[in-house]
C-alpha cells in the first residue's frame, strides 16, 4: 500500500517568514495530494490540494508543488501569521476501490510573533 513520509515533525518560524513542509510518497500511481490543517480541538480541514497532472497550485499565501518523478510534494506558506500555527498533514490518494487517503505523520507549525 501507499506510504507517506512527512518532514519536519516540528517547525518554528518568525511571523512574516516562509514555512515549507515536505512529503514523499511511495506509490507512483497516486494521483491526488491534499494538505490538511488541524487546529487544537478540531478536525483536519482541507486547505489546498493538487492532482498529478499539475506541477504547482497557489491560493493566496499557500502553494503546493508536486514532483512526480521524485515522488515528493511540498507545502509553502508565505508571510506567515500567528493564526497559521497548527498541525499540517499531507496525504496521498492510493488507487483502489475506494481511493482512501494515506496521511503523513504531521508537522506542528508554530509562528512566533
Partner 1 sequence: DSGVTQTPKHLITATGQRVTLRCSPRSGDLSVYWYQQSLDQGLQFLIQYYNGEERAKGNILERFSAQQFPDLHSELNLSSLELGDSALYFCASSSISGANVLTFGAGSRLTVL
Do the beta carbons of residue 71 and residue 23 sit within 8 Å? no
Tell me the HSE value of 44 on the side-chain side, using a 13 A CA sphere: 17
Q: Using DSSP, state whether 2 is helix, strand or coil.
A: coil
* Contact range with partner 1 by CB under 8 A, out of 11-19, 20-28, 29-37, 67-75: 29-37
The reply to whether 101 sits near partner 1 by the rule CB under 8 A is yes
> What are the beta bridge partners of residue 37?
45, 88
Do the beta carbons of residue 76 and residue 65 sit within 8 Å? yes
Among 20, 22, 32, 57, binds partner 1 (CB under 8 A): 32
Cell 512566533 belongs to residue: 112
The reply to whether 49 sits near partner 1 by the rule CB under 8 A is yes
The reply to whether 74 sits near partner 1 by the rule CB under 8 A is no
3-state helix, strand, coil in the chain (%, to 5): 5, 55, 40
* Contact range with partner 1 by CB under 8 A, out of 14-22, 66-74, 76-84, 99-107: 99-107
The reply to whether 29 sits near partner 1 by the rule CB under 8 A is no
Q: For partner 1, which is the closer residue by CB, 58 or 99? A: 99
Q: For partner 1, which is the closer residue by CB, 24 or 93? A: 93
Catalog residues that contact partner 1 under the rule CB under 8 A: 32, 34, 36, 41-46, 49, 89, 93, 96-106
Amino acid at each position: 500500500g501507499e506510504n507517506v513520509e512527512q518532514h519536519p515533525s516540528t517547525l518554528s518560524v518568525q511571523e512574516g517568514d516562509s514555512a515549507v513542509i515536505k512529503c514523499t510518497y511511495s506509490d507512483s500511481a497516486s494521483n491526488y495530494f491534499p494538505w490538511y490543517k488541524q487546529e487544537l480541538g478540531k478536525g483536519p480541514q482541507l486547505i489546498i490540494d493538487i492532482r498529478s497532472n499539475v506541477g504547482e497550485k497557489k491560493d493566496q499565501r499557500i502553494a503546493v508543488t508536486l514532483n512526480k518523478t521524485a515522488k515528493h510534494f511540498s507545502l509553502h506558506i508565505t508571510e506567515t501569521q500567528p493564526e497559521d500555527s497548527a498541525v499540517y498533514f499531507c496525504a496521498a490518494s492510493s488507487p483502489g476501490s475506494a481511493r482512501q487517503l494515506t496521511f503523513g505523520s504531521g508537522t506542528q507549525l508554530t509562528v512566533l510573533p
